[in-house]
């Protein structure tokens, strides 16, 4: 260019055209990338600020997957708690039904006193855990004690023994006695059941143990077995309550959820097994009395209350985790929008610029051509 002489008009038009081309290149880049700041050279302040916003948004979003997994873990634990509650309610129903079966199963044992000779003074009969002793003197029998008088006939002796049983509250199981001739029928009072072996004696007496309700003993045994199986299923369900290796129904399996900026939430786990809920794995004392059945029912009610508290805690933690997840999405969107506002180009504006620059380029080209006409007029002199 230094060896070529241009007129001042041509040089001015050339510079204008070069400037226009440069602006065209910049506008084309903005339209192609959608950004008005593509590097630190374009605008250092906006470029690095937008980069900081984008970096923080990406850092927060990196926690989203772990938070999503934590939400599913809590939901898995809550679903297991719901199932365990159902099993406990089922066990309660079995226990309540067992009460009815127990009341229908009042066992009785018949004692037949064969003859007066079979009971000598000092002979003993065990009734409900207490020992009743035969005495030969009327003065040795006092109402309410555990002695009974050997009467003149076997029927008299049977009546005296029945009176002693009815006036005494036996230490293991309280009994009632009814007498018919020489036969005494012993039954347990309401709320307990008589079993074989609750009545024993050392004299030559015969006894027959029978059930007052056919099949009732089997029905109670079935309910006891069903209760034990329900507790086994409860333990199995607790073992299956894990998600991605994490089980919040295992006491040592607490879960830490990370939200970024060193902020965390610890979701406490608990022991959801039968023993952890302080339940009996098998029916208390075989459910042989309403009192023993009620012990299990009370424990089942306590376990339900415990699960209600644990479920509420999980629900609260789930709300916090979901709120944090939504917050991360919202803040990340705000940060990205802020970054875009700093570096993104207005395509409408850039499109208008492109149209104007193209028009200017055409005008500059025409102007340059007109400037060259002065030199062309000199050329015509030689033609």
Residue segments in the chain with a per-residue pLDDT below the cut of 50: 105-106, 143, 212-216
DSSP string, 161-217: HHHHHHHS--SSS-EEEEEETTEEEEEEPTTB---TTSEEESSS-EEEEE-SSTTHH
Are residues 87 and 230 both part of a single domain? yes
Overall domain count for the chain = 2
* Residue 122 CB burial class (10 angstroms; 0-12, 13-18, ≥19): exposed
CA distance 19 to 306: 79
Backbone angles phi, psi at 148, to 5 degrees: -135, 145
Whole-prediction pTM: 0.58
pLDDT per residue as tens digits for the range 25-36:
676 777 676 677
pLDDT given for residue 202 in this prediction: 76
CA distance 261 to 352: 44
SS3 breakdown of the chain: % helix, strand, coil, rounded to 5? 60, 15, 30
Note whether residue 38 is domain-resident.
no
pLDDT given for residue 107 in this prediction: 55
pLDDT given for residue 299 in this prediction: 96
CA atoms within 13 A on the CB side of 305: 7
Note whether residue 46 is domain-resident.
no
Note whether residue 13 is domain-resident.
no
pLDDT given for residue 342 in this prediction: 79
Are residues 230 and 96 both part of a single domain? yes
Are residues 239 and 268 both part of a single domain? yes
Backbone angles phi, psi at 201, to 5 degrees: -150, 160
Note whether residue 376 is domain-resident.
no
Sole residue written with tokens 């991360």: 328
16 is written with which tokens? 């204008």
Are residues 91 and 161 both part of a single domain? no
Are residues 118 and 192 both part of a single domain? yes
CB 26 within 8 A of CB 349: no
Residue 278 belongs to domain spanning: 64-101+219-331
Are residues 205 and 262 both part of a single domain? no
pLDDT given for residue 225 in this prediction: 92
Are residues 196 and 247 both part of a single domain? no
pLDDT given for residue 275 in this prediction: 95
CA atoms within 13 A on the CB side of 349: 7
CA distance 237 to 315: 20
Query: Domain boundary at 312, 331, 350, which?
Result: 331
Query: Domain boundary at 148, 180, 212, which?
Result: 212
Largest CA distance in the chain: 175
159 is written with which tokens? 């009546």
SS3 of residue 110 by DSSP: strand
Are residues 154 and 141 both part of a single domain? yes
H helix or E strand, kind and range, residue 264: strand 263-267
CA distance 371 to 361: 15
Q: Which CATH number do you get for residue 264?
A: 1.20.1330.10
Are residues 92 and 227 both part of a single domain? yes
Note whether residue 300 is domain-resident.
yes
Query: Domain boundary at 172, 196, 212, which?
Result: 212
pLDDT per residue as tens digits for the range 132-145:
888 887 766 554 56
């Amino acid at each position: 260019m230094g060896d070529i002489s241009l007129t001042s008009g041509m040089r001015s038009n050339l510079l204008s055209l070069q400037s226009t081309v440069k602006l065209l290149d910049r506008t084309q880049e903005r339209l192609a990338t959608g950004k008005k700041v593509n590097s630190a050279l374009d605008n250092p302040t906006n470029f690095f600020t937008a980069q900081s916003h984008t970096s923080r948004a990406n850092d927060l979003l990196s926690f989203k997957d772990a938070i999503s997994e934590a939400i599913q873990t809590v939901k898995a634990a809550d679903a297991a708690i719901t199932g365990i509650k159902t099993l406990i309610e089922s066990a309660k129903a079995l226990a309540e039904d067992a009460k009815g079966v127990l009341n229908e199963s009042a066992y009785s044992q018949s004692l037949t006193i064969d003859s007066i000779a079979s009971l000598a003074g000092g002979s003993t009969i065990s009734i409900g855990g207490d020992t009743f002793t035969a005495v030969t003197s009327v003065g040795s029998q006092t109402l309410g004690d555990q002695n009974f008088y050997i009467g003149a006939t076997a029927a008299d002796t049977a009546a005296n023994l029945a009176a002693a049983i009815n006036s005494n509250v036996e230490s293991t199981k309280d009994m009632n006695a009814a007498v018919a001739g020489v036969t005494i029928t012993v039954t347990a009072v309401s709320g307990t059941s008589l079993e074989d072996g609750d009545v024993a004696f050392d004299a030559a007496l015969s006894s027959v143990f029978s059930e007052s309700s056919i099949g009732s003993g089997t029905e109670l045994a079935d309910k006891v077995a069903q209760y034990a199986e329900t507790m086994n299923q409860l333990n199995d369900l607790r073992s299956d309550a894990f998600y991605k290796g994490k089980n919040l129904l295992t006491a040592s399996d607490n879960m830490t959820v990370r939200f970024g900026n060193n902020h965390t939430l610890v979701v406490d786990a608990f022991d959801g097994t039968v023993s952890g809920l302080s339940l009996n794995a098998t029916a208390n004392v075989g459910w042989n009395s309403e009192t023993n059945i009620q012990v299990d029912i009370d424990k089942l009610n306590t376990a339900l209350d415990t699960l209600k508290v644990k479920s509420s805690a999980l629900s609260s933690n789930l709300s916090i985790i979901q709120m944090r997840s939504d917050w991360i999405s919202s803040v990340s969107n705000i940060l990205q929008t802020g970054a875009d506002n700093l570096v993104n180009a207005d395509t409408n504006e850039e499109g208008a610029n492109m149209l104007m620059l193209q028009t200017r380029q055409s005008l500059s080209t025409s102007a340059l051509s007109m400037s060259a006409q002065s030199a062309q007029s000199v050329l015509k002199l030689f033609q």
